[in-house]
Structure 1
Amino acid sequence: MSVSVLVSGATGFIAQHTIKLLLSKGYNVVGTVRSAEKGEHVTKLFNSPNFTYEVVPSLTTPGAFDDVVKNHPEVTVFLHTASPVSFKVLDVENDMLIPAVEGTKNALNAIQKYGQQIKHVVVTSSVMALVSVEEINDPSIRITEDSKSSVTWEEAKANSVIAYFGAKKFAENAAWDFYEQEKPAYSLNVIRPVLVFGPQAFDSEVKDELNVSAEVINQLLKLNPDSKLPEEKGGFVDVRDVAKAHVAAFEDGFNEKRLLMHSEMFTAQKLLNILNGHFDELKGKLPTGNPESGNEDPVVAEIDNLQTRELLGFPFVDLHTSVVDSVAQIFKAKQSSK
């Protein structure tokens, strides 16, 4: 009998890739979505008899995942990818911080009450759980799997950017605190990606504005030759590697691992060099900036994820491949919509 996996936040960028990978490997998947409309949409995308969905309208409702876990006693793996990622919120505490923490607690409480058969839990976190806004741009800082953030709840309430760093930290802390206090029988692992690039899981998901991380590349395509280069810089990882890490975390028997997903550094100049060098259709349409400086790494915190790379054992997709695949898909989607 094939293994059943519950994936929260099934409409998300990382989640769609993870579900696609799970289905290709023969798993049954139950995805949670915020509405039946979204559920029907992803059901059409995955187009598999092995995918079903459950509606969880709000992460913060007490017992949000209780019925889902109760209704699926066949599920033995829970991948909790659902978390608020929009920076366009008015109330950061209620729209970012609390949902991130309560969503994680609700998932783990549901397993505690109704999911005794669950053997593996994987939580999607972020490199931002490990550092403050200032530290991530500080070249004297070295980020590893063991780094810890100093951001407080009060500091996180200041604006949506700090709140995002805080939300990731507090949600991940909630998972580890629960795990240490309750000592459940399942394994717990956390995936912490840096900025995630790469194509959408399905061509039809390419929109004029993409999710926060994929939009970094998409916004470059909207520039003209006289545009000022954006300030974007930092660590990147391809979404397909992040999906593979979610699956490896339970398939390979990891426990209490904090996987730091980082491939290489990028700057807006590096990205533009790839775009201008690879796509003939973009020649003369984008700024060129200072191409020679594109070989230089950005002045930001160092990221050392040797532990993670050794654990996973697969090579990460490089920046050039990720950017080319993403943009080729955007062009393909534009052509098919004409």
Structure 2
Amino acid sequence: MKKILVTGATGFLGGHLVRYLSKKGYTVTGTGRNLQKGEWLKEEGISFVPGDLQQKDFCQELVRNHHYIIHCAALSEPWGDYQSFYTANVTVTENLLKSAREHGVKRFIHVSTPSIYFRYNDATNVKETAELPKRFANHYAHTKYIAEQKVKQYQEKGLETIIIRPRGLFGPEDSTILPRLLTLNKTKGIPLFNNGKTLIDLTYVENVAHALELSLEKGEVGQTYNISNGEPYSFKSLCDLLFTHLKINVQYKKLPYPVIFRVAYFLEAIYQLPFIKKEPFITRYSVSVLGNSQTLSIEKARKELGYEPLISIEEGIIHYANWYKSIYS
């Protein structure tokens, strides 16, 4: 029986993944720092070990007797100080890699991000071999890229590794993408650039769990795979679909992209001052995500992993809407 360790098990992806793998019959151990969510996993019969992956001794003990590691834990905010991102995304990854190699782990699967491709322009059908920007969009993308290099170094040392880069995760319990749209709709209205024609490439969370399961045995060792639903929607069509299923009136606010992008630029400059500790209410990254089309090619994952999305975007939106109404209605 495959014994799998999942980091970040109290986060969005990690929580879905441990439940998905458990239902498939794998022996799964989750780890994370949210004790309440860890107790919920235990109540579902899933092994959970709380702890801090920044501690080398904890990693050594945790990794022992596991055949596979799926590393989902990360600091994935769009704003913050560099050292926090480096510790969470690089130091932790290196601690786990070292422990995995010393304890004979069969395969280490690292969840990275397509944010490393990000440029402030349209970029469609981006492949894993795409040239990366000279300067990353934020500390998150930069440190995740460094973490990927650590993974590749351990691959050269003999540890089997796979890297996946999933795009725009959503689904029940999502606390990022769809909730932000709901909040904007309630407050300022949803910003609409280019009449909402920007292409948005999302991935239903169960599809990422499926790709990670495939990565346990399939895929060429040492390779990187883009993961998405493979069905980009225009931003307005996606919002219309979401609010239709939620039965909420949607409020759009047409805005000029160049002007708002410049405003975000100046705000970032101000908020980088040392005495300001908050995140600006808009960033160039957030504006560009809504104003420029960003889509991935998943042909490599289809060919080498045998990956095909299990849940369509519309089905995923329906699942999210039903969950949301069950919680908030």
TM-score bucket of the superposed structures, by smaller chain: 0.7 to 0.9
Q: How far apart in 1 are the matches of 2:34 and 2:292?
A: 42
1:183 aligns with 2:172: no
Q: How far apart in 1 are the matches of 2:240 and 2:306?
A: 30
Q: Contact (CA 8 Å) 1:64, 1:106: kept in 2 or not?
A: no
Give the drift of 1:217. 4.6
Percent of matched pairs sharing the same residue: 20
Corresponding letter in the other structure for 2:51: V
Q: How far apart in 1 are the matches of 2:295 and 2:79?
A: 29
1:108 aligns with 2:97: yes
Q: 5+ residue gaps in structure 2?
A: 255-289
Q: How far apart in 1 are the matches of 2:143 and 2:192?
A: 25
For residue 144 of structure 2, what is the aligned residue in structure 1?
Answer: 168
For residue 114 of structure 2, what is the aligned residue in structure 1?
Answer: 127
For residue 223 of structure 1, what is the aligned residue in structure 2?
Answer: 186
* SS of match in other structure, 2:201: strand
For residue 294 of structure 1, what is the aligned residue in structure 2?
Answer: none
Q: Contact (CA 8 Å) 1:10, 1:33: kept in 2 or not?
A: yes
Q: How far apart in 1 are the matches of 2:212 and 2:242?
A: 30
Out of 85, 104, 110, which is 1:96 matched to?
85
When the two structures are aligned, how many residues end up with a matched partner? 288
Q: Which runs of 4 or more aligned residues in structure 1 lie more than 6 Å from their structure 2 counterparts after TM superposition?
A: none
Q: Contact (CA 8 Å) 1:9, 1:33: kept in 2 or not?
A: yes
Give the drift of 1:104. 0.9
For residue 175 of structure 2, what is the aligned residue in structure 1?
Answer: 211
Q: What are the equivalent positions in structure 2 for 1:118-157 lying under 5 Å apart?
A: 118-129=105-116, 131-134=117-120, 137-139=121-123, 143-151=126-134
**Taking structure 1 as reference, are residues 267 and 163 closer, same or farther at Cα in structure 2, changes over 3 Å only?**
farther
Q: TM-score, normalised to structure 2's length? A: 0.77
Give the drift of 1:197. 1.4
Q: Contact (CA 8 Å) 1:198, 1:326: kept in 2 or not?
A: yes
For residues 78-111 of structure 1, what are the alpha-carbon distances to aligned partners after superposition, in whole Å with 9 as ceiling and x for unaligned?
A: 111111123353x2x1111232011110001011
For residue 59 of structure 2, what is the aligned residue in structure 1?
Answer: 65
Q: 5+ residue gaps in structure 1?
A: 201-209, 291-296
**Taking structure 1 as reference, are residues 332 and 10 closer, same or farther at Cα in structure 2, changes over 3 Å only?**
same
Q: How far apart in 2 are the matches of 1:304 and 1:6?
A: 29
Out of 39, 48, 53, which is 1:53 matched to?
48
For residues 102-140 of structure 1, what are the alpha-carbon distances to aligned partners after superposition, in whole Å with 9 as ceiling and x for unaligned?
A: 111000101122x12x212111111113x1442xx334x
For residue 203 of structure 1, what is the aligned residue in structure 2?
Answer: none
Q: What is the Cα-based RMSD across aligned positions, in Å?
A: 2.7
Q: How far apart in 1 are the matches of 2:203 and 2:38?
A: 28
For residues 242-266 of structure 1, what are the alpha-carbon distances to aligned partners after superposition, in whole Å with 9 as ceiling and x for unaligned?
A: 0001111013364223120122223
Q: Contact (CA 8 Å) 1:217, 1:271: kept in 2 or not?
A: no
